[in-house]
Amino acid sequence: LDIGDGKHYFYWLAESQTAPESAPVVLWLNGGPGCSSLFGNLGENGPFRVNSDGKTLTLNPSSWNSVANMVYFESPVSVGFSYKEDKKYNNTDQSTAVDNHLALESFFKKFPELKKNPFYISGESYAGIYIPMLAQQIFKTKSTINLKGVLIGNGYLDLETLDGQHSYDLSVGHGMLATESYENLIENCCECKTGEVMHAYDFSKAPNKTKCGSVDVQSVGCPNPYNMYDDCDPSAAYVHIYNKHYAKALNRPPMKLNANDNNKCPHNGYTEWLNVPEVRKALHVRPEDTQIWSDCGGEYEDFGRDQQSTVTELLDVYKIEKLVIFNGNFDTVCDHIANQRFIDRLNLKKVGHYSSWKTPDGFAGGYVQHYEKNLSFVLVRGAGHMVPHDKPEAALQMLKNVIGN
């Protein structure tokens, strides 16, 4: 997709398996910043998944394109196959919002038959910033895109809210931190007894710094902070992104790779698959693009805008029809407590009670709390940071519930 200024977006459209001419169009964005949405396609909610051999594919029975026209953008430029002709990249939150909007307009110009369909923006992690800002851009420019709602998964919505006492509450509640260490942290190492937001891992302002040096929260934590019950590390690319952005911003220790030497850990084959010449040709990747595709690594300068004012504007000014914030409860990077507290800061009235919702097999998929002004919080039980990967059936049911009212 040509978006001007020498910028070109790589996209992938997976037509709906059900009535594509009228099915909703759902854009999916992965986060990072700097991670490709082709991971979301090939490893989470796309029509098939790449096997660990990097050569063969398996159909995904819980693909989101079973009910929607799914679109995946490699965003911003410099990510994956997306590029800028002069290779001078200065991506920021604001420039990415503008570029994502331009790419959407270019997409609907290419597929005008889909423009009348209901449109939703979805994604996870740092897309918690991409998504609200893109929705704001669509409304602000009075675009004719038929935007109905957004789904923000395990979103990085606000640095301050992410970095609070709940980081310790979550750890001790799941047995990753001894109660004695927890009590020491709360008493001596952070200003959090009042329940106010604080920098949980920044001990420079600790009431009693001398008692904090022996507490290593990371070392007694889980091998995979993206899913505390996953025995295997996340990919090296995600470790790099975590250390480059999240650990630095949250004053947390860097993540270490320590479990991927276990041959029982599955290997993600999509990196190899996307570098097979025949595959790249079939996907219409430029022949002159000889760069090795990787799932994360795009260049990004600006980081971490608080989305409270943006979300408030979407609800109050533009009166968006649906704003869904969903979380897996096993994620420790962008955890569910932080995002519930983000919602609390919006001062919205609750509609009904916190209640369970079910998957087609009759089991509890998780819990939901509705609020005034069309906002809902959805917890997906047993999922980590990548909900459609960890709980594909529940994730698909959640999407069906949203687009089907």
Of 381, 380, 383, 355, nearest in space to 369 by CA: 355
Residues 39, 49: Cα–Cα separation, whole Å: 10
Contacts of residue 179, defined as CB under 8 A and 6 or more positions apart, other chains included, come to 172
Sheet containing strand 2-4, edge to edge, reads 2-4, 7-8, 83-84
- Among residues 93, 158, 233, 331, the one annotated as catalytic is 331
Spot the catalytic one: 66, 75, 122, 125: 125
DSSP 8-state assignment for residue 200: T
* In contact, 398 and 326? CB cutoff 8 Å: yes
Distance in angstroms (rounded) separating the CA atoms of residues 186 and 169: 10
Distance CA 333, CA 336 (A): 9
Rounded Cα distance between 157 and 165, Å, is 17
**Torsion angle defined by CA atoms of residues 60, 270, 13 and 78, in that order, rounded to the nearest 10 degrees:** 150
Q: What SS3 state is found at 247? A: helix
Residue 80 CB contacts under 8 Å (≥ 6 apart), including other chains: 10, 36, 38, 74, 293, 294, 295, 298
Q: Within the chain, how many helices (H) and strands (E) appear?
A: 14, 14
With beta carbons less than 8 A apart as the criterion, state whether 40 and 30 touch. Answer: yes
Token digits of residue 99: 């570029």
Q: 75 φ, ψ to 5°?
A: -135, 145
**Which tokens in the block code for residue 267?**
């290997």
In 3D, which of 223, 237, 235 has the Cα closest to residue 268?
Answer: 235
Element (H, E) at 377: strand 375-380
**Which tokens is 140 given?**
């602000």
Question: Based on C-alpha coordinates, what's the Rg of the chain?
Answer: 21
Amino acid letter, residue 8:
H
Check if 385 is active-site.
yes
Which residues does residue 59 pair with via DSSP β-bridges, in sequence order?
48
Q: Which of 166, 245, 336, 385 is catalytic?
A: 385
Adjacent-strand bridge partners of 13 = 71
Residues taking part in catalysis: 125, 331, 385
